[in-house]
Structure 1
Amino acid sequence: MRRALVSLTLTVLLVPAAPALADPSPDPSPTEPAPTEPAYVPADDGGSIAESKQVDAQTIDLTIDTPLVDTSKPRIRLYTPAGWSRTSTATWPIVYVYGGGPGSYTEWAGHSDLPATAKRSRALVALVDGGKAQGFTDWYNGGRGGNPRWETFHTQEVLQLLERNFRASTNRAVMGISSGGQGALTYASRHPGLFKFAACFSSLLHITAPGLPEAMMFTDYARPEPTVPDPLAKWGDPAADRRNWLDHDPYEQAEGLRGTRLFVSAGDGTQGPLDEDLATLIAKNGLNGLQIYTEGAVSETLVASTTADFLDRLGQLGIPVTTDLYGPGFHQWKYWDREYKKAWPLIMDAIGG
């Protein structure tokens, strides 16, 4: 069954990519911290906050100057709760949020109502850049390591910068959609205790399942303007460097999730109540409508398969997890905007938000 699914995936990927959804409107011009506020403290590795923009009264955009990522200057959108202050002696719990593979750091802001939810909460919420299809991993680079080092950036540098400069506490949660959800569970499993809660929505959770490494690498090769010119550089060759793939597979690293509260949701890849039918998509998008429909179906079918594997593994290990396997549904934002709301009260309870 998996071979057939992977074959179908490769066929889908040969179709020209559908137009990307637009990011939210441009940010306002930069605003430096008020003169009375303390200077920004760097991370241990020298990473620092290069720029700060006050988007609105509760929203700050940060640009990070980091030695860990040489492909871009990563950015963070930080939502602050009522009563928050940089100069307070109090600290606030925090939720780290990741987008999908090709999305930007503002993806959640453009496609969900998370900003409003965040501003009503008693926690900080950070939408953190993951690069475009960069893999939520420190790249293998043929065994040499080196840039980009997204895992180190996300699990060390970002935490230090927000805890030292924005009163974030060590009561942390992490969540993400698609590859961002895979990253969230990978980080939580590889760094036990770093997060009190981890949630993923429609993610590949068994990346070493037969055919999955090849499908994931082909996706990188097939992008019209690839941001990953050599997909082998991420985790290495699936056969020769299998140990490194296993070390970054949520299924294989599931034991590391013991003690972390978990939420996992996924559809099954059949057309669901929030999906447009094929005829409607073609009427709106021409031939691209066929790709949107097929990609959404095939992607979520693969998600469902790997999610079933992962949940079976948690069951074997006796690790509890809250799930919402909601059945019919494609790989798309209308479901994720619904699903995060089911996890949110559990997240807030776990971190005291």
Structure 2
Amino acid sequence: MSPRPARHRAPAAASRNRLASLGAAATLVTVTALGTVIAPAALGAAPAAAAGQQTAADGARIVATQRLDDRTLDLTVDSPAVGKQVKARVILPANWSADATRTWPVLYLLHGGHDDYTSWTRETDVEQFLADKDVLTVMPDAGPTGLPTKWWNFGQPGGDYETFQSVELMQLLQNDYRAGSARAIAGVSTGGYGAMAMAARYPGTFGAAASYSGVLNTTDLGTARLLGTILAREGIYPDMLWGNLLFNLANWISRNPTDQASRLRGTQLYVSQGKGGGIFSQDPEGGILESSLWDQAHTFTSKLSSLGIPATVHYYDGGVHNWPNWTQEFKASWPVLAKGLGLTTG
């Protein structure tokens, strides 16, 4: 990967901690037969100043910003949906101006589990890659699980990262950052779930959706066990997510990309998944994590095929559940995302 500015990267100790967590997760995967990205991140510094001048329809507002460089800034949003302040990192287009009469298409990039909104700029060269792309890029936080969903939460309010990302943040970006109506969404691991789930739950909102090693068939029993493991690792009672799989099955189905695949018709789609190498790969933990997602990814793309919904699909031998693979897949998926954004790739 291209070298990143120091202020955007986690310190070496944090990187070592991420690898240690990945090893611990591999032990869990042996039990659950499924896996997810394990990559804790250093939190960004506290915002320096207020930014937003307008509010979203439900009262959400930008209460502070921190500018990291000429194009990159962190927003702090007071979110009624989540019930607390939530961060999002934004990369502005090179020609962006607050006084412009035009708007810009918006690319959402979602993080995985045990990570946060800083992951894309910390782990990839996304800023350099997008430097000549006419797009406003936003990387919202989704909490420690990386699942941008409306939590069941036993009927209590709060924890609604789905509304934060798909309504509140979207409106704030339109109000304050000249965001347009053309959008694409992409994510890694549990963020891959978020990309496909939100594109399905809000048909027509996103022109393109991409998943890299995503969790795409959540009503599968093995995947449900995976989600329980992710939640337990974060100290969260599993039924807080969507309720009990048996007694709240309708809620699970309504949020499962495979069950909601018909709602993706008309959206440009990209799905990538490695076969992994298990204990015989150069990175045994990451290989096990990747291989454990192989079958459920095929279930999702087979459902798309049976519905006659086209998708660009890349299944590949080997592969590890990590950022080098996802960075490569993100760049490979750019023509699909660009088409959904109304951009040319030539």
Does TM, normalized by the shorter one, top 0.5? yes
Structure-to-structure mapping, 1:177-326, within 5 angstroms: 177-221=188-232, 223=233, 226=234, 228-270=235-277, 277=282, 293-294=284-285, 296-326=286-316
* Superposed CA RMSD: 2.5
Distance 2:39 2:264 in 1: 34
Alignment partners' CA distance in 1, 2:308 and 2:56: 37
CA contact under 8 A between 1:92 and 1:169: conserved in structure 2? yes
Question: Deviation of residue 119 (structure 1)?
Answer: 2.4
**2 CA distance for matches of 1:268 and 1:110?**
26
8 A contact 1:138–1:148 mirrored in 2: yes
Distance (whole Å) between structure 1 residues aligned to residue 163 and residue 145 of structure 2: 16
User: How far is 1:145 from its partner?
Assistant: 4.8
- Give the distance between the partners of 2:137 and 2:172, measured in 1 at CA: 14
**Aligned-pair distance for 1:11?**
3.0
TM-aligned CA deviation for residue 164 of structure 1: 1.0
**Which has the higher mean CA deviation after the structures are superposed, 61-70 or 248-257?**
61-70
> TM-score of the superposition, structure 2-length normalised?
0.85
CA contact (8 A) 1:68 1:149 kept: yes
Partner residue of 1:111 out of 118, 123, 130:
123
Pairwise CA distance, 1:210: 2.7
Shift of 1:87: 1.8
Asked whether the 8 Å contact 1:8–1:298 carries over to 2, the reply is no
1-structure distance, mates of 2:115, 2:104: 27
SS at match of 2:116: coil
Q: Which residue of 1 aligns with 2:85?
A: 73
Unaligned ranges ≥5, structure 1: 1-5, 34-38, 279-292
1:11 match: 31
* Equivalence for 1:171: 182
Contact 2:103 2:178 in 1 (8 A): yes
1:268 is displaced (CA, Å) by: 0.6
Contact 1:173 1:195 in 2 (8 A): yes
Alpha-carbon distance between aligned partners in 2 of 1:21 and 1:97, rounded to the nearest angstrom: 17
Q: Which residue identity lines up with residue 74 of structure 2 in the other structure?
A: D
Deviations 1:35-71 (A, max 9, x none): xxxx62100000000001111111121100111113x
Local SS of the residue matching 2:159: coil
CA distance in 2, matches of 1:234, 1:343: 30
Question: Displacement, 1:121?
Answer: 1.1
Distance 1:269 1:245 in 2: 28
**1:10–1:218 contact (8 Å) kept in structure 2:** no
Give a deviation string over 1:155-211, Cα, whole Å, max 9, x none: 111110001110000000000000001011000011110100000100111111133
The 3 A distance-change label for structure 1 pair 79 and 7 is: closer
Query: What is the percentage of aligned positions where both structures have the same residue?
Result: 32
Q: 1:341 to 1:61 in 2, by over 3 A?
A: same
The DSSP-based 3-state class of the residue aligned with 2:75 is strand
Verify: 1:93 aligned to 2:111, yes or no.
Answer: no
Question: Aligned AA for 2:251?
Answer: N
Gaps of 5+ in 2: 1-25
The 1:134–1:181 alpha-carbon spacing in structure 2 relative to 1, beyond 3 Å, is closer
Larger Rg: 1
Cα deviation digits, residues 253-304 of structure 1 (max 9, x gap): 00000000000001012169xx9726xxxxxxxxxxxxxx23x223212221
1:77 aligned counterpart, secondary structure: strand
Q: Are 1:153 and 2:153 counterparts?
A: no
Deviation at 1:117, TM superposition (A): 1.5
Matched residue SS, 1:115: helix
Q: Is residue 77 of structure 2 the alignment partner of residue 64 of structure 1?
A: yes
- What's the offset of the Cα at 1:147? 1.0
The answer to whether the Cα contact below 8 Å between 2:32 and 2:225 also exists between their aligned partners in 1 is no
1:339 aligned to which of 310, 324, 329: 329
Distance 1:40 1:299 in 2: 44
1:43 aligned residue (42, 48, 56): 56
Q: Provide the secondary structure at the position in 2 that maps to 1:131.
A: coil
CA apart distance, 1:229: 2.1
Q: For residue 341 of structure 2, what is the aligned residue in structure 1? A: 351
- Per the alignment, residue 135 of structure 1 pairs with 147
Structure 2 residue corresponding to 1:122, chosen from 113, 127, 134: 134
Q: Which moved more, 1:145-154 or 1:44-53?
A: 145-154
What is the TM-score normalised by the length of structure 1?
Answer: 0.83
SS of 1:120's equivalent in the other structure is: coil
Q: What SS does the corresponding residue of 2:298 show, helix, strand or coil? A: helix
AA aligned to 2:129 is T
Alpha-carbon distance in structure 2 between the residues aligned to 1:150 and 1:265: 24
Q: Distance in 1 between matches of 2:219 and 2:46?
A: 43
